[in-house]
Amino acid sequence: MIGMEYYIIIGVISLFSWLVSNTLKRKFKKYSKIQLRNGMSGAEVAQKMLADHGIFDVKVVSTPGSLTDHYNPQNKTVNLSESVYNQRNAASAAVAAHEVGHAVQHAKAYKWLTMRSQLVPMVNVSSKFSQYLVMGGLLLGAASSLGYWVLLAGVVLMGMATLFSFITLPVEYDASNRALAWLKNKNIVSREEFEGSKDALKWAARTYLVAALGSLAMLAYWVLRLMASRD
């Protein structure tokens, strides 16, 4: 049912994902040792960046876990993991400023963030059902009429998820660019601290790039399978 190509793609994606993830963890560990000369915690960095952008309706809160940092546009909260919230180093400053970058995007109605937010409900559905539909199409036999349409539905939902992953890229890169520009222009970090923050955010962005390319590879595989079933 599933060709060897599928497992090769899965293997390659998993390998690159593991390499980038491990590198990211090493980078954050390294830059967590560079203490900020101004002594600001991640929470304080986030609060100052919000204030400097005239944003006073967003709260900065601590959330459990590691690398669980995110901005929630629904309740307007910058959620920082406990270590980022409390620690006073280059890595914490980078992450805190990046998440506030999303809050700034929200406040300015950044088009890519708006587009991504609009796709969230559909992506939630596609992530739950696309694999089931694809496998269902294979079980029914993609060459049959019913099997073909079930497989097609799964591929379409998978395409929505792939589109979402690529729309996420400019959102993440732009948030990092906003963060780094503010850290530098406001002299929040020294030159050494800035380089550490920049490198950490670069590797964080690469996790999204690998995810997007992996999603595209899987989509391409199933599209080719779908086309082959009609021959």
End-to-end Cα distance, the chain: 16
Q: Is residue 172 annotated as part of the catalytic site, yes or no? A: no
Options 5, 82, 99, 193, the catalytic residue: 99
Torsion 219-225-226-228 (CA) sign: positive
Q: 189: which DSSP letter?
A: S
Which residues partner with 89 through β-bridges?
35
Structure tokens at 117: 């937010």
For 208, the token pair is: 């999204």
* E strand spans, 53-168: 59-63, 70-72, 77-81
Q: H or E stretch including 216? A: helix 191-229
Which tokens sit at 134? Answer: 């694809």
Q: Return the beta strands (E) in the chain as ranges.
A: 59-63, 70-72, 77-81
What the block records as the tokens of 141 is 């036999």
What tokens were used for 21?
Answer: 């993830």
User: Burial level of 143, CB count in 10 A (0-12/13-18/19+)?
Assistant: exposed
Active-site residue numbers?
99
